[in-house]
Amino acid sequence: MLLRRRATSKIALAVAALLAPTLLGTTATAAPATGPGSSVAAPATSSLTWQGCGGDIPATVECATLKVPLDHRKPGGKKIDVSLSRIKAADPAERRGVLLFNPGGPSSSGLFYPLALSGLLPQSVKDRYDLIGFDPRGVGASSPLACGTTTADERLTYRPYKDATFAKDVAWARDIADRCRNRNKETLRHITTRNTARDMDLIRAALGERRISYFGLSYGTYLGSVYTQLFPNRVDRFVLDSAVDPKRVWRGMGQAWAEQAETAFGRWTDWTARHSARYGLGDTPAEVEGLFWDIVARADREPLDLGGTRFDGAEVREYIRWEITHPSVAARTLGLLRDAAAGKPVPAFPTFVPTDNELASYLAIVCGDTRWPTAPAVYRADSRRDGVRYPLYGDSVSNILPCAYWDHPIEAATKIDNKVPALIVQNEWDSQTPLVTALGLRRALKGSRLVTVDEGQGHGVYSLGISACADDVATRYLTTGRLPARDVTCAADPLPAADSRSASPSPAAAAPARLPFSGR
């Protein structure tokens, strides 16, 4: 859920690059089911035309395009494309239905997510479901948005607050909002989570399914919960991994990152001090913390040369914020930062700059789902306060965004309050969608169950080698439909030994390798 730092596997990138230009097949608009909070009329149903995806994509993957209304209140009006992929159930005799995927973001492409996950999902799940990937409206191959942004605009979407630069931040936010509005006059206000959920129901109808099952990660948990609210009778088995609190969308979720990053930072400095013989970064948590903040101050005075890319203090803070849930990775990174601050050459640090489409589609959802404060003074005051409360990241997430100058949402955000069954899985020490936000979703989905991985680290749980116990619960639910009788706490699997990797790899080599998708 952040537009700078990404952990993306080579397979996901390669598949996306190959498939995106070669999608084939179109269809008329499919009929949505109506449900509470939905005012969508029902146009005529039509089947999808599936074809090979082209390039080097395996023949087991098929592609199609679904035409959906830009404005679901006007089903006969302008149409946009939603691009789909499918891997058919491996065992037709065991087939239950379809399993849709969303890998998060908002702005992540999900078109090839099933292929990227195909080596990780248990065979029992692949036997029972057609795996359906799709790019949400405005993303990737689905009538993509563009705002005309540049690398300079995109490198840090969440900017550190400073009195001296706040006026520039305000001007930047207004300029980005204006560019997005001017380039997407007809479409921008219709790129919302509620409309993507409606598109999901059109996908369901076009596939000829009475209900859908779903696996959503991070932002995908919010999209899935909105679907349960709009179309409760169309829900089969929903797994929501690393959960967003629907009451915190969206500014409150960003501020939750800052709150939880402080807790994670404290755990990390303690761990690093206990392993001082290996890393030499300080014998006490206070020494590790002091070294880190000394490096940040040094980078603020003069950006560090990290393998040819300059990082200022804010970028150093953000980099560590992502890594501290993987203590050994963050410790190695701090050692490299110390070397760079001393003028020693270090390997290149990847910068993970988002594309124009990623930034545009991210802002469309984050700014278009809910109303944001419009007065710059609110952002100034909040950034000053949160910079003191949460020094690692509080000033950045409370600073002004283009959302301050966005058009008002086309409709109110969805209030999630239902008894639809679902399974929520969550790492205890995830600082991106922290446990407190998963508890918020659990309260909103009263028919759900929560699986918490005790001392689980990182962002994402299911099929990622985090907890065999949590995987078993989720797989059993997907294959049998049985939810646990009550919420469950699972143990995390043992982490790899601290000496299982080279002592000083490059940051790219040291980065957590658990995520086979573009995670936010």
Instruction: Give the per-residue pLDDT at 326.
Output: 84
Query: Whole-prediction pTM value?
Result: 0.89
Q: Write down how long the chain is.
A: 520
Distance CA(148)–CA(318), nearest Å, equals 25
Distance CA(378)–CA(209), nearest Å, equals 47
What six digits make up the tokens of 335? 């050692």
User: How much is the average pLDDT of 274-286?
Assistant: 98
Instruction: Give the per-residue pLDDT at 22.
Output: 36
Helix (H) or strand (E) holding 66: strand 61-69
Instruction: Give the per-residue pLDDT at 18.
Output: 39
Residue 224, pLDDT > 60, answer: yes
Do residues 242 and 457 lie in contact, with contact meaning Cβ atoms separated by under 8 Å?
no
Res. 155 pLDDT band, cuts 50 70 90: low
Distance CA(376)–CA(409), nearest Å, equals 19
Q: Tell me phi and psi for residue 489, to 5 degrees.
A: -110, 125
Residues 20-44: tens digit of each pLDDT: 333 333 343 444 444 444 433 333 3
Do residues 513 and 501 lie in contact, with contact meaning Cβ atoms separated by under 8 Å?
no
Res. 353 pLDDT band, cuts 50 70 90: confident
Q: Which amino acid is at 378?
A: V
Task: Tell me how far apart the terminal alpha carbons of the chain are, to the nearest angstrom.
Answer: 3
Do residues 203 and 166 lie in contact, with contact meaning Cβ atoms separated by under 8 Å?
no
Distance CA(312)–CA(320), nearest Å, equals 13
Enumerate the active-site residues.
218, 430, 459
3-class SS of residue 318: helix
The distance of Cα 164 from the centroid of its chain, to the nearest Å, equals 32
Helix (H) or strand (E) holding 214: strand 212-217
Percent of the chain with pLDDT strictly greater than 90: 79
Residue 124, pLDDT > 50, answer: yes
* DSSP structural state of residue 418: B
Q: Which amino acid is at 84?
A: L
Given CA atoms 419, 128, 111, 438 in this order, what sign does their dihedral have?
Answer: positive
